[in-house]
Amino acid sequence: MKIVTSYSVRLRQVPTCLKGTLMKYREAVDWFIGMMEAEWNAFADCNNNQMAVRVGEKLCIKTAKNGTPKYSFSDSFYKFPSYLRRAAIAEAFGLISSYHSSLDNWNDYPVSERKRRPSVPKAGFVYPAMYRDNCFVRTGTYTARIKVWTRNTWDWIEISLRKCDVDYILRRCSNRKECVPTLRQRGKVWSLDFSFEERVTLTDSNNIDSQRILSVDLGLNSACVCSVMTSDGTVVGRRFLHLPSEYDHLRHCIGHIKHAQQSGARRMPGLWAKARGLNDDISVKTARFIVDMAMLYGVDTIVMEALDLNGKKRGSQKQRLALWRARYVQSMVLVKAHRAGIRVSRVCAWNTSRLAFDGSGRVLRGREAEKAGKNYSLCEFPSGKVYNCDLNASYNIGARYYIREILRNQSERTRLALTAKVPSLAKRSTCTLSDLKDLRAAMVA
């Protein structure tokens, strides 16, 4: 498997010509978009960027074998670097092919159901790739030369890279393949974004019986609850991650924001920046804890919920839901786990916390649970047992993964026979740990 990560290196001294270089590149992309739209029949059969570049250069670049091209790119763009020109053609081909796909889908709809017709794209916020030896040359550890549009021509200039960014890349990415950097502008900050490739071998997922998984429930009361499970439903280990000081600091910062809003303040960039920083710190620590536990127990797969966080937040916990960085944690876990050779899977999140793992039915939480003392982190089973709600959810998450993988590897006839013996398997959103144990018993019988 190939993993691509990107790191930004800030430029210490920003030349004024960088803005002109960026605008010149975007003008070239717009020029190629117009040319491809006019000659779309020649580009419609191109399957990749290389074919599109070959066709585009044949139409607009004059060479010894192509003395009279239909269009003249050089007349509008003097001494435009060849590598940047090919990058602009590839960028324009991606935009125009996406436009024609949307246009075909729009034409397939009935006239009465059609909405607004797709419009021809523009270059927008595209950034040039600084190809080595042609547009980017390293002159030292912290210095480099790039080719830019300056004084009405393309020329080389010297740039200085921030030392802490370069040292971080040397320390972390020395064993990875460095790709072509991209010149980017974020506000008033200019940087070179370096991409790095690495190849890893993931664990074998064919034999589900020998797999050990880590089921993770990301919560609001605790940062996460992790349970290590085997295919027969045995829980090998479980861990809770509580970050009381971090959550207390975040709650204190949100209180400051609330007080400022009640006093009439509308924009509070400093307070919101502090809150985002605390939230990011919680997310990073949570992702690190999950991957460290997976490596400690030697699991093959990390299983999490496929959360749907769209829509308006309602209820007393709506502010905590709005600040919840569950997707950010999952994306970090995905990269960290793949780098360690561990697979990541997701299951349906419906009813994982609402149903008891022992199959007794719907649990009671909050004000409904008298034995739990109105503690929302605890739940009361129909049998009267009081249990941690997030731990109960982690059991159900792991069970749903095993049920899905076991049934997927069976024939249709065997699957129907197992579903007849365990009817609750027919609806995956109601499966619990007890259903996994019943499935295993039916398979043995």
Residue 316 pLDDT exceeds 70? no
Model confidence pLDDT, tens digit, residues 361-383: 999 988 888 887 778 889 999 98
Residue identified by tokens 């071998």 is: 201
Token digits of residue 135: 């547009």
Rounded mean pLDDT of the chain? 92
DSSP annotation of 235? E
Model confidence pLDDT, tens digit, residues 172-230: 998 899 999 999 999 999 999 999 999 999 988 788 989 999 999 998 878 999 999 99
Residue 197 and residue 177 in contact, taking contact as beta carbons nearer than 8 Å? yes
Model confidence pLDDT, tens digit, residues 93-148: 999 999 999 999 999 999 888 889 999 999 999 999 999 999 999 999 999 999 99
HSE value, Cβ hemisphere, 13 Å, CA-based, for 397: 30
Between these two residues, 70 and 320, which has the higher pLDDT value? Answer: 70
Crossing angle, helix 49-60 and helix 17-38, to 10 degrees? Answer: 90
Q: How far apart are CA 22 and CA 28, in angstroms?
A: 10
Residue 71 pLDDT exceeds 90? yes
Percent of the chain with pLDDT over 70: 99
pLDDT of residue 397: 97
The CATH class given to the 212-444 domain equals alpha beta
Token digits of residue 373: 């003392």
Residue 339 exposed, middle or buried by CB count within 10 Å (0-12, 13-18, 19+): middle
- 392 phi, psi to nearest 5 deg: -60, -40
Q: How far apart are CA 223 and CA 206, in angstroms?
A: 32
Token digits of residue 333: 């876990």
Q: How far apart are CA 364 and CA 370, in angstroms?
A: 9
Percent of the chain with pLDDT over 90: 79
pLDDT of residue 313: 72
Q: How far apart are CA 10 and CA 28, in angstroms?
A: 26
Residue 317 pLDDT exceeds 80? no
Q: How confident is the model at residue 445 (pLDDT cuts 50, 70, 90)?
A: confident
- 387 phi, psi to nearest 5 deg: -140, 160
The set of residues, in sequence order, having a beta carbon less than 8 Å from that of 384 and lying 6+ positions away, is 371
